[in-house]
Amino acid sequence: MSADRTLWLIVPAAGQGRRMGADRPKQYLTLGEQPILAHTLARLYQAFPEAVLVLCLDSDDAWFQPEWVPFARWQRVSGGEERMDSVLNALVAIAAQEDDIVMVHDVARPCITPDDLHTLYQAACRHPSGALLAMPVADTMKRASAECHSMRTEPRDGLWHALTPQGFRYALLLEALQSARCHQRLVTDEASAVEALGEQPLLVSGRRDNLKVTHPDDLALASAILVAQLDPLT
């Protein structure tokens, strides 16, 4: 981390994860003995112990426990109806400088590695339009009809899966999300808001095991990945 620049880590964690069909939001489902949220925060802390964490939680969240937060400097902000609302709430709540780097990471990606985190941070510092972890598409891509019939095969050249973290200078990200809200444009990640301003964030190739826990069978896969990552050969 740069000595003259604060790193802010924003973690949206106000979602309900209804696709999991569980009795609690997915960030509180356990991997081993810890909830997903605790694993994710631990990974972020391992890479950036001096960063400032901003945790976006539902105002009625009854599951969160502060002891899961390893950071010395952190604050809780109220989450919004959509992801972009949560991140914008966080940006407005912090006392950041224009050139500070803000990295936004999905709470449901507990398998992020310190190496990928450091690589993304350095790219975000260098590139004026910011950067995001991403992964080139490897599978054959199909265009489906409304009835889920395969209509045609789409060329995958130049296609990437967007991952997180995504990192940008504070002023740019704030402008991008405020513009999206002003134009009533729903964005599903920060990069798409920045792209709408005419910017071109840098795609940084990340590890394929940076899994986002979305469906019930992802829990077992995430657990296996966490165990495998402890093996120095992985």
Q: Where are the domains of the chain?
A: 7-229
CATH class of 7-229: alpha beta
β-pairing, 160-169 with 131-136? antiparallel
Q: Which helix (H) or strand (E) holds 76?
A: strand 74-78
State the pLDDT at residue 19.
65
What whole-number distance in Å separates Cα of residue 144 and Cα of residue 222?
29
**pTM of the entire predicted model:** 0.93
Q: How many CA atoms lie within 13 A of 178 on its CB side?
A: 9
26 vs 15: CA distance, rounded Å = 8
Non-local (6+) Cβ contacts of 184 within 8 A are none
Whether the CB-CB separation of 27 and 36 falls below 8 Å is answered with yes
User: Rounded CA gap, 187 and 197, in Å?
Assistant: 13
Helix 36-47, helix 114-126: angle, nearest 10: 60
Cβ atoms of 133 and 166 within 8 Å: the answer is yes
Say what the pLDDT of residue 193 is. 97
pLDDT tens digits in sequence order for the chain, 234 residues long: 656 789 999 999 997 766 666 778 899 999 988 999 999 999 999 999 999 999 999 999 999 999 999 999 999 999 998 999 999 999 999 999 999 999 999 999 999 999 999 999 999 999 999 999 999 998 999 999 989 999 999 888 989 999 999 999 999 999 999 999 999 998 999 999 999 999 999 999 999 999 999 988 999 999 999 999 987 655
Residue identified by tokens 């003995």 is: 33
- The continuous run of DSSP H or E covering 34 comes out as strand 34-35
Q: At what angle do helices 83-93 and 170-182 cross, to 10 degrees?
A: 130
CA angle 67, 221, 68 (to 5 degrees): 5
Whole-number pLDDT of residue 154: 86
Here the tokens at position 45 are 């802390």
**Total length of the chain:** 234
DSSP sequence for 133-173:
EEEE--SPEEEE-TT--EEEEEP-TT-EEEEEEEEEEHHHH
One-letter amino acid of 162:
A
- Alpha-helix runs per DSSP H in the chain: 36-47, 83-93, 114-126, 170-182, 190-195, 218-229
Cis preceding linkage at 216, omega within 30 = no
